[in-house]
Amino acid sequence: MYRYDEFDERFVRERVAQFRDQVARRLDGSITEDEFKPLRLKNGVYLQLHAYMLRIAIPYGTLSSKQLRQLALIGERYDRGYGHFTTRQNLQFNWPKLRDVPEILDLLADVEMHCIQTSGNCIRNVTADHFAGVAQDEIEDPRPTAELIRQWSSLHPEFDYLPRKFKIAVTGAEHDRAVIKAHDIGLRLRRHPDTHEVSYEVSVGGGLGRTPMIGKVVRDYLPKDDLLAFLEAIMRVYNLEGRRDNKYKARVKILVHEIGVEEFRRRVEEEFARLDGPSVNADPAEVARIAAYFKAPDYEALPAISRVLEATKAANPAFARWVEVNTIPHKAPGYAALTISLKPVGEAPGDATSDQMRLVADLAEQYSQAEIRVTHAQNLVLPYVRQRDLFAIWQRLGEAGLASANIGLITDIISCPGLDYCALATARSIPIAQAIQHRFADDNRQKAIGELNIKISGCINACGHHHVGHIGILGLEKRGIESYQITLGGDATENAAIGEILGPGLAAEDVPDAIERIVNVYLSERAEGESFIENVRRIGLAPFKAAFQEVAHAVA
């Protein structure tokens, strides 16, 4: 993991002091509420429905045990004993008091954490593949790139007052687990076919919200050394030319859409060619310094398949099932990357209590190099687990209600906070997730359905990624009543796609029925080994629409 040096340490401490001073200047009237708002947002402090909300940055979703314990402590001392992991790999506290925020920031700084740019019209917390460093399909670890961007984008003098928020995601693998195509900038590390040099494919203009768009490639192979200069060129074009007359049209996706990707690319390349790259880019020694922190741990030499694991699996079907669903093959023989589900049936997706955080921190310390990852699907990962330790981990997770075997399945639902917490919400989303989870709680049924991503947002802003859910659910409000619009065929991976609307909105209580009908179409139409999304792509929307209409008519 990255560790702060003296410069990082001072920077974060000074930022805390600066925020204290900003609060003081707000209180004495030096700055107006209007002027204070972006300052507080840029430090993660939102004003929400019931209270302030504090969003803590977990850069590229990587946490140490020590950091997770500190989050547990903060949750206990300043919140109600839990926190909410978000689709941007961050953690939100829903009930802190404004006056406590500087103290919380101090506690975070003690463990090399902060809330810098977790909100506001600036470059936000950089996200990355949660299996970075351990996935078998990885070309290069994305975290050094993400850390370099974290530093470069922090309090950037030129790009802190952008037209709108700006999100960057990085992946180094073939399979995109970081949803890079739904980000303002998506970076993919890939090898050049001729030179075999690792470089970046750069996409710009993805985003969800009310105008969902898939990012477009502006550079196929950017040499790694040129990263910061190229980012500077993109940001400068956007900062100068992004629309500022209408906040709904201010994201870079709209600029790319309005002038066309060719013209956007031309302007970026022109600026990139003109600016003095060597004076902007990090020198290779700096990149190497950062990369060294992400070196693989010293793995034990182990057989590819652990006999202990096989034996415990054979003796315990529930455990076997959990291993099958919640782990992925690892780069190192005899190891596994384990995803801990924060989606037990009936709980708010992504919530974890302080006790649960402590347990995961302990397990990581004992079994996974004291490292944890947060996934954009709102789960946690122990990236370096020996296969033979899985049984012990499973038992302890089970005691804490954290052993659900549902990663990637129909109950592993992404959901935003919705009307339960969010001031912008038009409908509830957590209760909808819970109702669907109850409907499909049966393990065998989930297994029979296989991989299926449901994503729920409580309003058009799409924090729950509904556009890229295999099944997306959007909560709206029609004449004072919640109404849920269902989309089908979205995809958050390298085959990124925006889902299509199936029909008229439904009442909350009809949503589980509609989902069930959609799933039944798949179960009866699927070919051998065909997943839900493959089936939708092959047979098209029509059969699903027909089934959906039956629900819509029955209730109309």
Binding residues (CB under 6 A) for ligand HEM: these are: 46, 48, 53, 86-88, 92, 164, 167, 207-210, 251, 416-417, 421-424, 461-463, 465
The answer to the question of residue 433 lying near ligand SF4 (CB under 6 A) is: no
Amino acid (1-letter code) at residue 277: G
**Beta bridge mates, 190:** 199
| C-beta atoms surrounding 255 within 10 Å | 21
- The one of ligand HEM, ligand SF4, other proteins, none whose footprint includes residue 279, by CB under 5 to 8 A per kind, is other proteins
DSSP β-bridge partners for residue 258 = none
DSSP letter for each residue of 489-538? --B-STT-B--EE-SS-B-GGGHHHHHHHHHHHHHHHPPTT--HHHHHHH
Q: Which stretch binds other proteins (CB under 8 A): 28-36, 218-226, 419-427, 510-518?
A: 28-36
Burial of 302 (0-12, 13-18, 19+ CB in 10 A): middle
Q: In this structure, what token pair is assigned to residue 90?
A: 């961050």
* In contact, 162 and 238? CB cutoff 8 Å: yes
Residue with tokens 């939102």: 46
Query: At which residue do the structure tokens 């693989």 appear?
Result: 296
- Tell whether residue 298 is a contact of other proteins (CB under 8 A): no
Identify whether the C-beta of residue 327 lies closer than 8 Å to the C-beta of residue 337: yes
In the complex, least distance from residue 212 CB atom to ligand HEM, rounded to whole angstroms: 8
107 backbone dihedrals φ, ψ, rounded to 5°: -60, -35
Of 121 and 327, CB closest to other proteins:
121
> What secondary structure does DSSP assign to 353-368, as a single string?
EHHHHHHHHHHHHHHS
In the complex with ligand SF4, the residue whose CB is nearer, 383 or 418, is: 418
Binder of residue 307, out of ligand HEM, ligand SF4, other proteins, none (CB less than 5 to 8 A by kind): none
Helix 390-399 vs helix 354-367: angle between axes, to the nearest 10 degrees?
170
Q: Which two tokens stand for residue 406?
A: 């549902």
Candidate ranges 36-44, 231-239, 293-301, 411-419; the one touching ligand SF4 (CB under 6 A): 411-419
* Residues 222, 226, 231, 234, Cα dihedral to 10°: -70
User: Toward ligand SF4, which CB reaches closer, 208 or 502?
Assistant: 208
CA angle 531, 325, 395 (to 5 degrees): 165
The residues, any chain, with a CB within 8 Å of residue 76's CB and separated by 6 or more, are 354
If binding is defined by CB under 8 A, does position 263 make contact with other proteins?
Answer: no
The listed partner (ligand HEM, ligand SF4, other proteins, none) that binds 459, CB under 5 to 8 Å by sort, is: ligand SF4
Q: Is 148 in the site for ligand SF4 (CB under 6 A)?
A: no
Compute the least distance from the CB of residue 150 to other proteins, in Å: 9
550/556 Cα distance (integer angstroms): 10
425 binds, among other proteins, ligand SF4, ligand HEM, none (CB under 5 to 8 A by kind): ligand SF4
The secondary structure of residue 159, as a DSSP letter, is S
Residue 45 as a binder of ligand SF4 (CB under 6 A): the answer is no
Q: Does 461 bind ligand SF4 (CB under 6 A)?
A: yes
Q: For ligand SF4, which residue of 204, 357, 459, 521 counts as binding (CB under 6 A)?
A: 459
Which of 463, 506, 533, 551 is in the footprint of ligand SF4 by CB under 6 A?
463
Q: How many residues sit in the footprint of ligand SF4 (CB under 6 A)?
A: 13
Q: Which does 160 bind (CB under 5 to 8 A by kind): ligand HEM, ligand SF4, other proteins, none?
A: other proteins
Cα–Cα distance measured from residue 126 to residue 185, given in angstroms and rounded to the nearest whole number: 10
- Supply φ then ψ for residue 122, to 5 degrees: -145, -175
396 membership: H or E segment, kind and range = helix 390-399
Place of tokens 């190192």: 332
Nearer to ligand HEM, 388 or 465 (CB): 465
Cα–chain center distance at 66: 21
The answer to whether residue 99 forms part of the interface with other proteins (CB under 8 A) is no
> Reading across the β-sheet that carries 91-93, which strands appear in turn?
45-47, 52-56, 91-93, 82-85, 351-353
Q: Is there binding between residue 111 and ligand SF4 (CB under 6 A)? A: no
Find, among 460, 459, 486, 458, the residue nearest to 473 by Cα. Answer: 486
| Binder among 49, 198, 217, 280 for other proteins (CB under 8 A) | 280
Which does residue 208 bind out of other proteins, ligand HEM, ligand SF4, none, counting CB within 5 to 8 angstroms by kind? ligand HEM
Instruction: Tell how far CA 163 is from the center of its chain.
Output: 23
Stretch near other proteins under the rule CB under 8 A, chosen from 14-22, 253-261, 298-306, 493-501: 14-22
* Least distance to other proteins, CB of residue 274, Å: 7
Helix/strand/coil for 539: helix
Q: Is 60 in the site for other proteins (CB under 8 A)?
A: no
92 contact choice in ligand HEM, ligand SF4, other proteins, none (CB below 5 to 8 Å, kind-dependent): ligand HEM
Q: Is 457 in the site for ligand SF4 (CB under 6 A)?
A: yes
Residues 6 or more apart in contact with residue 9 via CB below 8 angstroms: 109, 112
Residue 47 or residue 273: which is nearer to ligand HEM going by CB? 47
Size of the site for other proteins (CB under 8 A): 47
By CB under 6 A, is residue 91 in contact with ligand SF4?
no
Query: Which partner, ligand SF4, other proteins, ligand HEM, none, binds residue 209 by CB below 5 to 8 Å per kind?
Result: ligand HEM
Out of 1, 4, 39, 523, the residue judged to bind other proteins by CB under 8 A: 39
Residues that bind ligand SF4 (CB under 6 A): 416-418, 422, 424-425, 457-459, 461-464
Residues that bind other proteins (CB under 8 A): 5, 7-8, 10-11, 14-15, 17-18, 21-22, 25, 29-32, 35, 38-39, 121, 151-152, 154-162, 228, 236, 239-240, 244, 274-276, 279-283, 285-286, 289
